[in-house]
Amino acid sequence: MRLDDLETPAMIIDVDVMEDNLRRMAAYSGRHGIALRPHIKTHKMPRLARRQLDLGAHGITVAKLGEAEVMSEAGLEDLMLAYPPIGEAKARRLRAVLERARVSVSLDSEEAVATTGRAADGARIPVFVEIDLGARRCGVPPGPEAVRLARLIEATPGLDFEGLMFYPGHVHPDFDGNNNTLENLVDELQRLLELFAAEKFPVPRISGGSTPSAPYCHLIPGLDEMRPGTYIFNDRNTLEWKSCTEKQCAASLLVTVISNAVPGRVIVDGGSKTFSSDPLGPGTRKGHGLVRGYPEMILFFMNEEHGFLELPPGVRLKVGQRLRVIPNHICGAVNLHDVVFPYRGQEVLGEWTIEARGRIR
Buried b (16+ CB within 10 A) or exposed e, 335-345: bbbeebbbbee
Phi/psi-derived region of residue 58, left when phi > 0, alpha when psi is between -120 and 50, beta in every other case: alpha
pTM of the model: 0.96
The H or E element spanning position 147 is: helix 144-155
Backbone torsions φ then ψ of 320, nearest 5 degrees:
95, -15
**pLDDT, tens digit (0-9, with 9 covering 90-100), for 87-106:** 999 999 999 999 999 999 99
**pLDDT, tens digit (0-9, with 9 covering 90-100), for 262-319:** 999 999 999 999 999 999 988 778 899 999 999 999 999 999 999 999 999 999 999 9
Q: Angle, nearest 10°, between helix axes 144-155 and 180-198?
A: 50
**pLDDT, tens digit (0-9, with 9 covering 90-100), for 231-251:** 999 999 999 999 999 999 999
**pLDDT in the model for residue 281:** 85
Q: Edge to edge, what strands does the sheet with 159-165 contain?
A: 35-36, 225-226, 205-208, 159-165, 125-130, 102-107, 78-81, 60-62
Closest CA to 9 of 250, 337, 328: 337
Distance in angstroms between the alpha carbons of the first and the last residue of the chain: 36
**pLDDT, tens digit (0-9, with 9 covering 90-100), for 67-88:** 999 999 999 999 999 999 999 9
